[in-house]
């Protein structure tokens, strides 16, 4: 009997949470998993929602249970495991069916898969999902890439399960094939930048102001109640106030200072560079995670090179202003990559709408995103966030604090890679005349690469090249 409106393949943390969220809307959800016992685990914990869940251990039964045209949501790792599952399931599907990848996929793979499935008259949707387990269960932010037809079918379902910001569902169709996964990748890049800025400022308070983790947690708590209101600021406050049940020490002190990364931050940087762009704060955040992982080398270097850091004469209020500036710069860099991708891949990415669907449900949700959405709605010059009048005004107010923090931090030997990268970009962009003319001259001098001469057409060479 074909009676389920959607199927979920993959019942790990995110897949199970999303299946329960879908079931809660009243629709019937078929579920399956490669390891069959996981199906019963989900049905057992579903309680009353199990009435809306159909577990199928056999793939053929799972496919047969779905209303046609079918909607199948894959919640499994997006690399090899997804390709293997697609090889198995695609022969069982019929023209018009839609396969959705809800994982953090490399958008190049999504484009490849979409093309392969299109040749069989199947739709492939790359669905970026953010919000962790809690979001998946009660309302994630979702970024959809796929055909208009598949979006029409998915729209009511995804709108029903999405997070809402003042009633507006945090989900939208952003473009074809890889657009949704690309936007999710950049979301994660911004997430890296935000987390690094927070970590650097935590480090300054800890090592430069001598505050304890619970004291710093209280500062982040205050910030979260004010203009810096953001999910990541709020969880930082919680984390820093938490003590280790085993030792009684602050929890943050018993965690090895070596940050992990699964790849989306790195992909953001790679794609930005490929398009001739640079999101320097995201690069700095990726680099900082990589350097953090070199724990042993850092320990040796601390002895060899000296690890002294000076106390800082800056106030917590100045740090708050600096974080305001840095967060705007991080978002601005992320949105520049989205604009570059819109042009490179001919995607109709709408920066304002993307900011809107990030206002709730996702990891980077924050009050600032509402201001950013409004700024983009006003069509800023060159599409640049930092040129939107309200944002430029805000930056004018808080950049001096970022400058003060950086001057003190750099002078005192504190590492602040993301904060410095943000200010360097801002200072570069606000100069109509920079030093790159010299770089062009050097290129021409050693390699006859030529340069554009001001006020003259064509390619020119310097007098260092004398044609004989
Ligand atoms: C989200 C998160 C989620 C995941 C990160 C972690 O939006 O819900 O971004 O996708 O937690 O990808 O990435 P790293 O392991 O690279 O930090």
SS3 readout for the chain = CCCECEEEECCCHHHHHHHHHHHHCCCCEEEECCCCHHHHHHHHHCHHHHHHEEECCCHHHHHHCECCCCEEEECCCCCHHHHHHHHHHHHHCCCCCEEEECCCCCHHHHHHHHHHHHCCCCEEEEEEEECHHHHHHHCCEEEEECCHHHHHHHHHHHHHHCCEECCEECEEEEECCCHHHHHHHHHHHHHHHHHHHHHHHHHHHHHHCCCCHHHHHHHHHHHHHCCCCEHHHHHHHHHHHCECCCCCCEHHHHCCCCCCCCCHHHHHHHHHHHCCCCCHHHHHHHHHHHHHHCHHHHHHHHHHHCCCCCCCCCCHHHHHHHHHHHHHHHHHHHHHHHHHHHHHHCCCCCHHHHHHHCCCCCCCCEHHHHHHHHHHHCCCHHHCHHHCHHHHHHHHHHHHHHHHHHHHHHHCCCCCHHHHHHHHHHHHHCCCCCCHHHHHHHHHHHHCCCEECCCCCCEECCCCCCCC
Please check whether residues 123 and 58 belong to one and the same domain.
Answer: yes
Please check whether residues 298 and 194 belong to one and the same domain.
Answer: yes
pLDDT at 302: 97
> Ligand 1: which atom is nearest the Cα of residue 289?
17
CA 302–ligand 1 middle distance (angstroms): 31
CA 61–ligand 1 middle distance (angstroms): 33
Mutational pocket test of ligand 1: of 78, 106, 132, the residue with most ligand atoms within 8 Å of the beta carbon: 132
Please check whether residues 279 and 424 belong to one and the same domain.
Answer: yes
CA 261–ligand 1 middle distance (angstroms): 8
Q: Which domain holds residue 300?
A: 185-429
**CB within 8 A of 144, min separation 6: which ones?**
125, 126, 127, 128, 151, 154, 158, 171, 172, 173, 174, 180
Mutational pocket test of ligand 1: of 235, 264, 360, the residue with most ligand atoms within 8 Å of the beta carbon: 264
CA 188–ligand 1 middle distance (angstroms): 6
CA 58 to chain centre: 35
φ/ψ (deg, to 5) at 65: -75, -10
Please check whether residues 77 and 150 belong to one and the same domain.
Answer: yes
Tokens representing 455 are 């006020």
Mutational pocket test of ligand 1: of 15, 17, 104, 140, the residue with most ligand atoms within 8 Å of the beta carbon: 104
Closest residue CA from atom 9 of ligand 1: 188
Closest residue CA from atom 5 of ligand 1: 188
Q: Which residues line ligand 1 (CB under 6 A)?
A: 104, 130-132, 188, 191, 260-262, 264-265, 362-363
pLDDT at 467: 64
Last residue of a domain, one of 155, 177, 199: 177
Closest residue CA from atom 14 of ligand 1: 261
Contact between 183 and 338 under an 8 Å Cβ cutoff? The reply is yes
> Ligand 1: which atom is nearest the Cα of residue 141?
7
Map tokens 């590492």 to a residue.
415
CA 156–ligand 1 middle distance (angstroms): 26
CA 434–ligand 1 middle distance (angstroms): 37
Domain membership flag for residue 169:
yes
Closest residue CA from atom 4 of ligand 1: 132
Number of folded domains that form the chain: 3
> Ligand 1: which atom is nearest the Cα of residue 131?
8
pLDDT at 466: 72
For the four alpha carbons of 166, 169, 173 and 177, in that order, the dihedral sign comes to positive
Q: Could you list the active site residues?
A: 184, 191
Domain membership flag for residue 436:
no
φ/ψ (deg, to 5) at 314: -120, 155
Please check whether residues 127 and 65 belong to one and the same domain.
Answer: yes
What CATH number does residue 121 fall under?
3.40.50.720
Closest residue CA from atom 7 of ligand 1: 130
**CB within 8 A of 372, min separation 6: which ones?**
331, 335, 355, 385, 391
What CATH number does residue 283 fall under?
1.10.1040.10
Domain membership flag for residue 304:
yes
Please check whether residues 459 and 405 belong to one and the same domain.
Answer: no
Domain membership flag for residue 198:
yes
CA 183–ligand 1 middle distance (angstroms): 13
> Ligand 1: which atom is nearest the Cα of residue 184?
7
Domain membership flag for residue 437:
no
Tokens representing 203 are 């480090």
Tokens representing 48 are 């009353």
CA 354–ligand 1 middle distance (angstroms): 18
Please check whether residues 402 and 468 belong to one and the same domain.
Answer: no
Please check whether residues 112 and 243 belong to one and the same domain.
Answer: no
Last residue of a domain, one of 121, 150, 177: 177
Please check whether residues 39 and 67 belong to one and the same domain.
Answer: yes
* pLDDT per position as a tens digit, 137-177: 999 999 999 999 999 999 999 999 999 999 999 999 999 99
Please check whether residues 143 and 201 belong to one and the same domain.
Answer: no
Please check whether residues 50 and 149 belong to one and the same domain.
Answer: yes
Domain membership flag for residue 405:
yes
Contact between 65 and 56 under an 8 Å Cβ cutoff? The reply is yes
Residues of the chain with confidence (pLDDT) below 70 = 1-2, 467-468
Closest residue CA from atom 11 of ligand 1: 132
Please check whether residues 109 and 251 belong to one and the same domain.
Answer: no
Domain membership flag for residue 52:
yes
Give me the half-sphere count of Cα atoms (radius 13 Å) on the Cβ side of residue 69: 15
Closest residue CA from atom 8 of ligand 1: 130
* pLDDT per position as a tens digit, 375-384: 999 999 999 9
> Ligand 1: which atom is nearest the Cα of residue 132?
8
Contact between 122 and 147 under an 8 Å Cβ cutoff? The reply is no
């Amino acid at each position: 009997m074909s009676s389920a409106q959607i199927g979920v393949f993959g019942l790990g943390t995110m897949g199970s949470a999303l299946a329960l969220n879908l079931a809660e809307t009243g629709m019937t959800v078929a579920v399956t998993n490669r390891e069959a016992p996981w199906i019963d685990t989900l049905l057992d914990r579903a309680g009353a929602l199990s009435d809306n869940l159909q577990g199928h251990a056999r793939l053929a039964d799972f496919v047969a249970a779905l209303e046609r045209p079918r909607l199948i949501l894959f919640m499994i790792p997006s690399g090899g495991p997804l390709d293997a599952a697609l090889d198995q399931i695609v022969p069982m599907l019929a023209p018009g069916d839609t396969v959705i990848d809800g994982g953090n996929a490399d958008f190049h793979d999504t484009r490849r898969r979409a093309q392969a499935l299109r040749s069989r008259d199947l739709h492939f949707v790359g669905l970026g999902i953010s919000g962790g387990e809690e979001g998946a269960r009660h309302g994630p932010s979702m970024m959809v890439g796929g055909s208009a037809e598949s979006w029409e079918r998915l729209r009511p379902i995804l709108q029903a399960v999405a997070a809402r910001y003042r009633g507006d569902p945090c989900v939208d169709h952003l473009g074809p094939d890889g657009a949704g996964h690309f936007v999710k990748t950049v979301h994660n890049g911004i997430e890296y930048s935000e987390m690094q800025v927070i970590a650097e400022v935590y480090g300054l308070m800890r090592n430069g102001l001598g505050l304890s983790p619970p004291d710093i947690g209280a500062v982040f708590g205050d910030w979260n109640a004010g203009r810096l209101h953001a999910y990541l600021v709020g969880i930082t406050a919680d984390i820093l106030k938490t003590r280790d049940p085993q030792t009684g020490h602050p929890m943050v002190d018993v965690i090895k200072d070596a940050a992990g990364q699964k790849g989306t931050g790195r992909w953001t940087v790679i794609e930005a560079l490929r398009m001739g762009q640079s999101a320097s704060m995201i690069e700095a955040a990726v680099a900082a995670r990589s350097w953090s992982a070199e724990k042993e080398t850092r320990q040796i270097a601390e002895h060899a090179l000296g690890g002294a850091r000076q106390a800082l004469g800056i106030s917590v209020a100045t740090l708050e202003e600096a974080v305001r500036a840095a967060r705007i710069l991080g978002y601005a860099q992320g949105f520049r990559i989205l604009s570059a991708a819109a042009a490179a891949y001919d995607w109709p990415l709408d920066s304002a709408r993307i900011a809107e669907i990030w206002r709730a449900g996702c990891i980077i949700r924050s009050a600032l995103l509402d201001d950013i959405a409004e700024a983009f709605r006003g069509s800023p010059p060159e599409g640049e966030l930092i040129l939107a009048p309200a944002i430029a005004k805000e930056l004018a107010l808080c950049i001096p604090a970022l400058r003060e923090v950086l001057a003190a931090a750099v002078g005192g030997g504190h590492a602040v890679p993301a904060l410095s990268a943000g200010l360097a970009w801002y200072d570069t962009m606000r100069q109509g005349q920079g030093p790159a003319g010299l770089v062009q001259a050097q290129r021409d001098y050693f390699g006859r690469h030529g340069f554009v001469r001001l006020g003259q057409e064509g390619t020119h060479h310097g007098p260092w090249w004398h044609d004989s």
